[in-house]
Amino acid sequence: MDHRLLALVTARPCPQHHYPAPAPEHPPCDSQSTGASSSSSTTLAIAIYGTPNSFDPTQLLEGQQTYIWDSVYDTLLIQDNKGELRPGAAQSWHYSSDARTLTLKLRTGMKFSSGTPVDATAVKATLERIGATPGPNQGVLASVASVEAPDATTVVIKLKRPDGSLLTSLSTAAGVIGDPKTMTSKSAALNPVGSGPYTLDKGATVNGSVYVLKRRDDYWNKKAYPFPTVKIRVISDQTAMTNALKAGETNTGTVDVSQVDSFKSAGFETQHVQATAVATLVLADRAGDVLKPLGDVRVRKAINMAFDRVKMVKQLLRGSGGPTEQIFNPKGPGHDPALDQTYSYDASAAKKSLADAGYPNGFSVTMPSVVFTKPFEPTFTQALADIGIKVKWQPVPPQQSVSALASKKYPMFLIVDGLNTTPIEARNFYSPTGYRNVFNSSAPELTKLLDQANRELDPAKAADVYKEINKFGVENAWYGPVFYIGSDWATKKGITYLGDGSSTLAAIRQFGTAD
């Protein structure tokens, strides 16, 4: 999940989170970020690892699938290539002073690919359906009490409680707008009707193999999308992806760090992004209900001291990444460089901390072995064994990995998560209902900070609170973050990758042309 860039025309947000539309004489903000003319005839060809699960607005998954559905659907807000929220289908928005009512004003003239106008009723219908339908985004809208459409261009979202992550969520899958006439039909899973910059070319698309997108000439933000055609292939492994890039079947993609020089020699442009994901040992059972030792902060701190993070980056990632002791995106306002000095690698000190907690001989733990942990398992096993913690890895089938991690069966587990924006990271990792806080841990100090962050309407003040949340998590060793994983993009001459890690949402806006 990633990406962004350049000059922003919209006004900066005021403390009340009111975002005015771009001035009429200026193009929308992202239309300038590509540095390209919309008249380009270049086709963007990219590969993704897996078949999209569904294009039904209630079932959209983020990650690489976003390249497709974000091109077909408008979202209420947009994350630009610097991770900032900008007008999307909503040209402006503002919160009430108590952060409990969000009012959005829609831009006029938008139409679904079916020709039906996009209005507040469609937004209301989509938000209500996502909130009422079991799926990956239902929980994202858990704070929403009701949605009103007082007129064709006004949407009023009333909240059960303040939600600092809601605005960002409305720039992702939870903020798409579906056509009420078609989105409840069975055909919506494979034949989406949206108001986005592209339509899915059914004649050229083969589900599970290749998805072809055709740009709409009537789209309001057409200049942000310089590619008339986008081809997205499903290729299941990195080697095959690399071969497709070399053979010209695709013209942009990520490559292994060891192959960057060879792609440069072949005339490709390359762009290194230092952090797009984070590998973290989730110390989930902080009350010690399943694994008693984890209920002692001294044990959790000992685990954090067990990792030679610099060495792991060098050996496991070959330098394409960086060590970290925090889970927050280093490009986001919640990140605090000082926190990366909290735990030095010190096996002796870790053993002493375990002994002080009453575990001089260590203990044993079973952790789930899933597809993304396998390359790292030997290194983590050895690091923990060096301080007396014996790890047994239990194989988990790929289709059961999500449910296994959420099951509370495993008191600690290794994950690799794509980086996100600070409010969503705080929600996912520290809220009692956050999907990575699987044991629903809470603490009075943290509860107070989360409530403060959710109510704070001044972004600068909110950033200070998120840093305090981050500090709480690191100092209380709720997690054992180890390293950020970087990515290396190679693009055919004439195509530019615009990302730097500030935004990790996969979108076609992250690519421009050099024409």
More confident residue, 8 or 270: 270
Give CA–CA dist 267/66, Å, rounded: 28
Res 27: pLDDT: 33
When mean pLDDT is compared across 238-247, 351-360, 499-508, the lowest value belongs to 499-508
Q: Please give the backbone phi and psi of residue 409, each rounded to the nearest 5 degrees, phi first.
A: -75, -30
Residue 8 has pLDDT above 60, yes or no: no
For residue 249, which of 233, 228, 269 has the smallest C-alpha distance?
233
What DSSP character marks residue 241?
H
Whether pLDDT at 1 is above 60: no
In this predicted structure, the answer to whether residue 171 has a pLDDT above a threshold of 90 is yes
- Mean pLDDT of all residues in 380-389: 98
Strand partners, 85: 79
Among candidates 476, 87, 497, which has minimal Cα distance to 269? 497
Region(s) of the chain under CATH 3.10.105.10: 275-419+476-486
DSSP string, 324-348: -S--S-TTSTT--GGGGGS----HH
Type of residue numbered 14: C
**Radius of gyration of the chain measured on its C-alpha atoms:** 23
Count of alpha carbons within 13 angstroms of residue 476, beta-carbon side: 18
The fourth-level CATH superfamily of domain 275-419+476-486 is Dipeptide-binding Protein; Domain 3 (3.10.105.10)
The angle at the Cα of 340, spanning 334 to 343, to the nearest 5 degrees, equals 135
Q: Tokens representing 169?
A: 């969520």
Closest CA to 64 of 51, 82, 73: 51
What are the phi and psi torsion angles at 466 (to 5°)?
A: -65, -35
Q: What is the mean pLDDT of residues 155-165?
A: 97
Which tokens sit at 127? 């938000």
- Give the mean model confidence (pLDDT) for residues 431-456: 97
Instruction: Indicate whether 180 pLDDT > 50.
Output: yes
Is residue 5 pLDDT above 80, yes or no? no
Please write the tens of the pLDDT for every residue from 296-338.
Answer: 999 999 999 999 999 999 999 999 999 999 999 999 999 999 9
- Average pLDDT, stretch 180-189? 93
pLDDT exceeds cutoff 70 at 30: no
CATH superfamily of 29-237+492-513: Periplasmic binding protein-like II (3.40.190.10)
Task: Report the interhelical angle of 444-455 vs 422-430 (nearest 10°).
Answer: 150
- In which residue ranges of the chain is CATH 3.40.190.10 found? 29-237+492-513
Whether the CB-CB separation of 450 and 469 falls below 8 Å is answered with yes
Residue with structure tokens 């008249």?
A: 39
**Does residue 13 register a pLDDT over 80?**
no
* Average pLDDT over all residues of the chain: 91
Per-residue pLDDT, 515: 62
pLDDT of 32 higher than 50: no
- Identify the pLDDT of residue 98: 97
C-alpha 313/C-alpha 297 separation (Å) is 26
> How many whole angstroms from its chain centre is CA 409?
26
pTM of the full structure: 0.88
Look at 140 and 28; give whichever has higher pLDDT.
Answer: 140
